[in-house]
């Protein structure tokens, strides 16, 4: 079985000259459509997929996230209660080359827990009475605010020891909503201070989290460029193509994707996971042996980094078997064993969260 195909590509210099001269380096999420678009993509990918139930559940979760940010009464209440970092905190982070909305600058108060409860209430409406997720939500409902904050801290710091993996996606969904709202509010409050240059180009310039995947964009507002998509606050930041998103090397970068030859389609490639594989490839680096997926709008305009990543776990398995370790993180699907850091690791400026699907 050889379902991996290397793809020829232009040199970094050629790519750089082809990219738009004026590329907006960082893009905050549009709160009115980011989670709605994800929901729609997940429902599209779920049809006939081996992970259909999981993708549908994640679509319901995305729908609840959208409502939390767009329900007029609820979001207004949450926005009023949102606490942005002080200008002194932003200046201190900027001086150190750190992102403005790192965990230490964002208050984990009752506002994010209200987001969580809103999301849980909405998700419950869509769950069958016998669904196992009901028990997970029931367990989560029993957590005290202290335990919830402890779980959130572990999730945000990449400390998987003691992290409840069953409840983690639900907690993460609320944290994504919370961080996206704080980022939007902070950008409105300090329009010139939200995105200073930070020292580490491989983490989100807004919140310091690792990307979930890259997206090759096409369109009037984003041009033809490569952006990394934040796993937490949903910000996109520009990174030149043909450059490793983990170690920033331009040597040894290659692109691989699933191939559907007729023989493989018939015998080897799971048909249920082929819906979006043409639009999803993997950027591997032979300098650091990490990889990150790239979703390509030119192949499928509807691609969405989180959704398309979840629907291509087969690709993770194959690339992992080829000896590469995943550098990105998808908070909707975490794997053990314990990893040491999903965000910044001070001992390793490139961060060191590794997620391997190898058995
Ligand atoms: Zn971010
Ligand atoms: Zn690398």
252 C-alpha to ligand 2 centroid (Å): 8
- Whole-number Å distance, alpha carbon 334 to ligand 2 midpoint, is 22
Note the ligand closest to the C-alpha atom of 291: 2
For residue 355, report the distance from its CA to the centre of ligand 2, in Å.
15
CATH number for the domain formed by residue range(s) 4-18+199-326: 3.90.1670.10
C-alpha to C-alpha distances, 325 to 289, 318, 353, nearest whole angstrom: 6, 11, 10
pLDDT at 115: 98
Secondary structure class of 316 (helix, strand, coil): helix
What pLDDT shows up at residue 19? 41
Contact indicator for 119, 154 with CB cutoff of 8 Å: no
How many angstroms is it from 207 CA to the middle of ligand 1? 4
By the 8 A CB rule, do 101 and 85 touch? yes
182 near 207, Cβ under 8 Å?
Answer: no
Which residue in 346, 102, 99 sits closest to 205, CA to CA?
Answer: 99
359 CA distance to ligand 2 centroid (A)? 23
- Give me the half-sphere count of Cα atoms (radius 13 Å) on the Cβ side of residue 86: 3
CB of 157 within 8 A of CB of 353? no
Q: Report the distance separating Cα 43 and Cα 29, nearest Å.
A: 21
Element (H, E) at 96: helix 87-96
Sketch the domain layout of the chain as residue ranges.
4-18+199-326, 30-189
What is the distance of C-alpha 180 from the center of its chain?
12
- Closest listed ligand to the CA of 233: 1
Q: What pLDDT is attached to residue 129? A: 87
- State phi, psi for 331 to the nearest 5 degrees: -70, -10
pTM of the predicted model as reported, rounded to 2 decimal places:
0.84
C-alpha 200 – ligand 2 centre gap (Å): 14
Instruction: Give pLDDT, residue 221.
Output: 64
Measured distance CA(285)–CA(348) in Å, rounded: 18
CA 258 / ligand 1 centre spacing (Å): 29
Nearest ligand to the CA atom of 247 = 2
Note the pLDDT of residue 193: 64
At residue 84, the pLDDT reads 94
Q: Which ligand is nearest to the CA of 243?
A: 2
pLDDT at 306: 98
Residues with C-beta atoms within 5 A of ion ligand 1:
204, 206-207, 209, 230, 232-233, 235
Centroid of ligand 1 to alpha carbon of 285 (angstroms): 23
User: Residue 138 has which token pair?
Assistant: 């029931």
Q: Which CATH number fits domain 30-189: 2.40.30.10, 3.40.630.30, 3.40.50.10580, 3.90.1670.10?
A: 3.90.1670.10
Look at residue 17 in the predicted model and tell me its pLDDT: 41
Q: Which residues of the chain have pLDDT under 50?
A: 1-23, 260-273, 275, 338-359
Cα 250 to ligand 2 centroid, rounded to whole Å: 8
């Amino acid at each position: 079985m050889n379902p991996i195909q290397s793809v020829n590509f232009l040199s970094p210099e050629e790519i750089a000259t082809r990219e738009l001269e004026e590329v907006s380096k960082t893009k905050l999420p549009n709160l009115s459509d980011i989670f709605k678009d994800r929901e729609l993509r997940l429902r599209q990918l779920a049809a006939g997929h081996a992970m259909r139930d999981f993708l549908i559940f994640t679509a319901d979760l995305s729908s609840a996230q959208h409502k939390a940010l767009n329900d007029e009464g609820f979001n207004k209440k949450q926005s009023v209660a949102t606490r942005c970092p002080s200008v002194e905190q932003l200046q201190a982070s900027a001086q150190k080359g750190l992102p403005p909305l790192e965990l230490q600058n964002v208050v984990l108060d009752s506002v994010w827990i209200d987001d969580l409860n809103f999301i849980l209430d909405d998700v419950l409406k869509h769950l069958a009475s016998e669904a196992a997720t009901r028990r997970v939500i029931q367990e989560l409902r029993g957590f005290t605010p202290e335990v919830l904050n402890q779980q959130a801290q572990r999730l945000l710091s990449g400390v998987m020891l003691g992290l409840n993996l069953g409840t983690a996606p639900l907690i993460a969904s609320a944290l994504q909503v919370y961080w996206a709202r704080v980022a939007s509010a902070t950008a409105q409050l300090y329009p010139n201070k939200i995105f200073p240059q930070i020292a580490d180009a491989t983490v989100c310039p807004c919140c310091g989290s690792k990307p979930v995947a890259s997206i090759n964009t096409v369109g009037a507002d984003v041009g033809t460029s490569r952006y990394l998509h934040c796993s937490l606050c949903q910000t996109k930041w520009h990174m030149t193509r043909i450059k490793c998103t983990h170690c920033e090397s331009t040597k040894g970068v290659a692109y691989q994707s699933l191939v559907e030859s007729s023989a493989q389609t018939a015998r080897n490639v799971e048909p249920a996971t082929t819906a979006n594989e043409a639009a999803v490839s993997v950027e591997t680096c032979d300098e650091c042996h990490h990889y990150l997926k790239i979703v390509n709008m030119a192949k499928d305009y509807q691609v969405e980094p989180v959704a398309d990543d979840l629907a291509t776990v087969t690709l993770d398995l194959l690339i992992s078997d080829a000896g590469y370790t995943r550098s990105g993180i998808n908070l909707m699907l975490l794997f053990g064993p314990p990893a040491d850091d999903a965000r910044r690791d001070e001992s390793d400026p490139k961060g060191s969260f590794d997620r391997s699907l190898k058995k």
